[in-house]
């Protein structure tokens, strides 16, 4: 089984309920404001890309309010749960009450872009550390330029609107950088206009690839607790 990390060829093996690769690339009142959409430069630089450490800081910057649970683009059988705080949307793409051996965290910022962190271990991810992950992949993507024709991402979106945004983004093949470990093998690279910056981006994020961070483990714990409350087991 495999998962598409949002770009051609970025496939990593998963369990039977996860996603298929293609040939293409709580409740609570929401206090979030709508910062609007910010347009990215036509040629984003690797040193300005939203990093996993920055995305996790934003995800943990305030209480998460529940947005919704439902199917998610590119994923079969599993259900996703979406949350938000005053900075970002946080999506647990495998949001089941019973914990799985894989976890995928997607952070969407209207002003910074998108970061995806995917981990898989032999057993429940929350019970294991970085040394136990045989796959640990990160993908970072800038805010889309106007040429991408994506819907305007705002923190006022409903679950259905956010899902629609992701569906369009998924097929837009935006510039992105990725790296980490897939099936115990190191992988890294950048796509599109970011391709010349692969070495720079990898160097900047190497420490996270190798050791993760305290914020990562805190996010895993918090998402696990939220999944017990809002998740849905595979059909």
Q: Is residue 112 part of a domain?
A: yes
| Residues 42, 206, 153, 125, Cα dihedral to 10° | 160
pLDDT band at 172 (very low <50, low <70, confident <90, very high): confident
Q: How many domains does the structure of the chain reveal?
A: 1
Query: Does residue 149 form part of some domain?
Result: yes
pLDDT tens-digit map of 174-213? 899 999 999 989 999 999 999 999 999 999 999 999 999 9
Q: Specify the pairing of strand 80-84 against strand 133-141.
A: unpaired
Is 41 a domain residue? yes
How confident is the model over 204-228, as a mean pLDDT? Answer: 97
Residue 98 lies in a domain: yes
In a domain, 15, yes or no: no
What pLDDT, on a 0 to 100 scale, did the predictor assign at position 1? Answer: 38
What is the pLDDT, as a whole number, of residue 33?
Answer: 37
Q: What is the pLDDT of residue 203?
A: 95
Is 4 a member of any domain? no
Residue 46 has a pLDDT of 63
DSSP classification of residue 36: -
Q: With respect to residue 72, please indicate whether it lies within any of the assigned structural domains.
A: yes
d(CA 192, CA 12): 20
The mean predicted confidence, pLDDT, of the chain is 83
36 assigned to some structural domain: yes
Domain containing 102 equals 26-230
For residues 52 and 119, the answer to whether their CB atoms sit within 8 Å is no
Residue 227 has phi, psi (to 5 degrees) of -65, -35
Please say whether the beta carbons of 104 and 81 come within 8 A.
no
Are the beta carbons of 14 and 102 closer than 8 angstroms?
A: yes
* Residue 132 or 2, more confident: 132
Backbone phi, psi, residue 132, to 5°: -95, -10
| pLDDT tens-place string over residues 17-69 | 333 333 233 333 333 334 444 444 445 566 789 999 999 999 999 999 999 99
């Amino acid at each position: 089984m495999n998962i598409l990390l949002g770009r051609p060829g970025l496939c990593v093996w998963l369990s039977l309920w996860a996603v298929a690769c293609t040939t293409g690339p709580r409740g609570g009142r929401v206090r979030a404001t709508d910062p609007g959409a910010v347009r990215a430069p036509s040629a984003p630089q690797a040193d300005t890309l939203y990093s996993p450490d920055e995305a996790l800081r934003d995800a943990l910057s305030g209480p998460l309010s529940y947005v919704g649970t439902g199917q998610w683009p590119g994923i079969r059988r599993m259900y996703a749960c979406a949350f938000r705080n005053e900075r970002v949307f946080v999506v647990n793409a495998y949001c089941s009450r019973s914990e799985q051996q894989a976890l995928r965290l997607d952070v969407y910022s209207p002003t910074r872009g998108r970061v995806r962190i995917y981990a898989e271990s032999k057993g429940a991810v929350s019970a294991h550390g970085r040394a136990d992950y045989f796959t640990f992949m990160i993908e970072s993507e800038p805010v889309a330029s106007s040429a991408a024709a994506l819907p305007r991402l705002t923190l006022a979106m409903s679950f259905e609107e956010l899902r629609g945004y992701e569906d369009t983004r998924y097929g837009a093949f935006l510039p992105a950088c990725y790296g980490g470990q897939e099936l115990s093998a190191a992988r890294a690279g950048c796509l599109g206009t970011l391709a010349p910056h692969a070495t720079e981006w990898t160097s900047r994020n190497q420490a996270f690839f190798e050791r993760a961070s305290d914020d990562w483990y805190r996010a895993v714990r918090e998402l696990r607790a939220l999944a017990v409350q809002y998740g849905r087991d595979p059909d």
